[in-house]
Amino acid sequence: MQWSSRELLLGFTTGIAVTLVLDQVRRYITSPYFSRQLALSRYRATTESSSGHTGSIRPAGSGIESTIGNTPLIVIPSLSKATGCTIYAKAEFLNGAGNSPKDRVALSIITRAESHGLLTPHSGDTIYEGTSGSTGISLATLCRARGYLAHICMPSDQSHEKSNLLLKLGAIVERVTPAPIVDQAHFVNRARILADQHTADPARQGRGYFANQFETEANWRAHYEGTGPEILAQTENKVDAFVAGAGTGGTLSGVALALKEKLDHVRIVLADPQGSGLYNKVQHGVMFHSLEREGTRRRDQVDSIVEGIGLTRSTANFEQGRELIDEAVKITDAQAKNMARWLVEQDGIFIGSSSAVNCVAALQTALKLGPGHRIVTILCDSGSRHLSKFWAQIGDIGGEARTTIDDILQGRTLT
């Protein structure tokens, strides 16, 4: 077969054109511009899958409520390196209203009450709650945002940073002497009584609404519908263990329910501070020894510097997910303080006492499971709310890093 001059010329020019086009494509895909665009595209896809937002920048929202949820999931480098696992922390202290996971709960409580006609904005309605601090802060913030007043009852042994902040947020604050839950003077019972009295008083404007964070379904559902699905999306359904403490039990139960629906193998681990009875409830089926009837102790957290988690009684929110808890670990104050020091020294992460307990339990869980596993825990709030109590005992960090993993695990006293 012979080619004509015209055909040869056409083939030659076509070859040159294809070569030039391929060269331009090669130049483009190896250019810095293409690399940036590819990275941006991947970031947008990741952001969309993990947060539900279409794009790398969070869209404008309406009010402080729009900053709640879709919190970052970060890897804690030092603990991951020490264990050979990937230890993730859900940065709940970056919720934008009260800077804790209680933002989700407070918003859920308010919106559900509004939908049932139990709260009406700008009517004089007041929300009453008994809390050790974080839920009160979230409620106080959201009450002002949505047209309500907040009346917070809290134990008098909690850090003053919390009560001072509540006052600045416009809440009425009562610091209540610690009492057992069976006593009407208990801070939770006090809030319930005040709400009832408000509603029954014809001389007072609006109604009183008891938030009831320990027992309300709105608590665990906030995490079942929000926190849990976010963790699944951010890890691409690759979670081997979820570790968290329980104050009301809502976070633990809600996330456990969401994870167990998708992942049969995932382990749920309760991190319990010293003085709490939940460890025994999970491991042995009883809160305390038979001589110590549930709910009769003077404090909810006995002989512990840790605030926000640990109970001497069970709650509806804890019971919602209790059967899903695979094991519980007991964490001492010394272990928590050493972990808080370690995270500042190694990672620049400044956390409060309950977050420190969670991280100790995550460390122990990672070491037990062995290298290659993925563990998720919760960073509840910043250390700035724990300066006068928890961090006052830890002291200043200063100088070079000196805390070791063994110091954490053994709970050694550091000076």
pLDDT at 101: 96
CB 187 within 8 A of CB 193: no
pLDDT at 329: 97
242-268 confidence digits (pLDDT tens):
999 999 999 999 999 999 999 999 999
List of the chain residues with pLDDT < 50:
31-55, 289-292, 294-302
- The architecture in CATH of the region 101-210 reads 3-Layer(aba) Sandwich (3.40)
CATH 3.40.50.1100 occupies which residues in the chain? 73-98+217-288+304-410, 101-210
pLDDT at 361: 98
Strand partners, 267: 241
Six-digit token pair at 57? 């920048």
Phi and psi at 119, nearest 5°, equal -135, 140
pLDDT at 59: 84
Tell me the DSSP string of 41-94.
HHHHHHHHHHHS-SSSSPPP-SSGGGGSS---EEE-HHHHHHHSSEEEEEEGGG
Six-digit token pair at 380? 């509840």
pLDDT at 307: 86
Multiple choice CATH, 73-98+217-288+304-410, 3.40.50.1100, 3.30.1650.10, 3.10.180.10, 3.90.1570.10: 3.40.50.1100
b (16+ CB within 10 A) / e for 31-49: eeeeeeeeeeeeeeeebee
Q: Rounded CA gap, 268 and 103, in Å?
A: 23
State the DSSP code for 351.
B
Tell me the DSSP string of 201-234.
-TTSSS-EEE--TTT-HHHHHHIIIIIHHHHHHH
Tell me the DSSP string of 288-315.
S-TTS-TT-SS-SSTT----S---SS--
Q: What is the pTM of this model?
A: 0.83
CB 305 within 8 A of CB 279: no
Q: Which position among 81, 90, 102, 389 bears the catalytic label?
A: 102
Q: Rounded CA gap, 219 and 199, in Å?
A: 23
Place of tokens 């494509």: 25
User: Strand, coil or helix: what is 347?
Assistant: helix
Q: Rounded CA gap, 216 and 218, in Å?
A: 5
CB 228 within 8 A of CB 259: yes
CB 305 within 8 A of CB 393: yes
Alpha helix (H) ranges present in 84-227?
Answer: 102-115, 134-146, 160-168, 187-200, 217-222
Exposed/middle/buried for 168, CB within 10 Å: 0-12, 13-18, 19+?
Answer: exposed
180-206 confidence digits (pLDDT tens):
888 898 999 999 999 999 999 999 999
pLDDT at 41: 47
pLDDT at 45: 47
pLDDT at 340: 97
Q: Does the annotation mark 330 as catalytic?
A: no
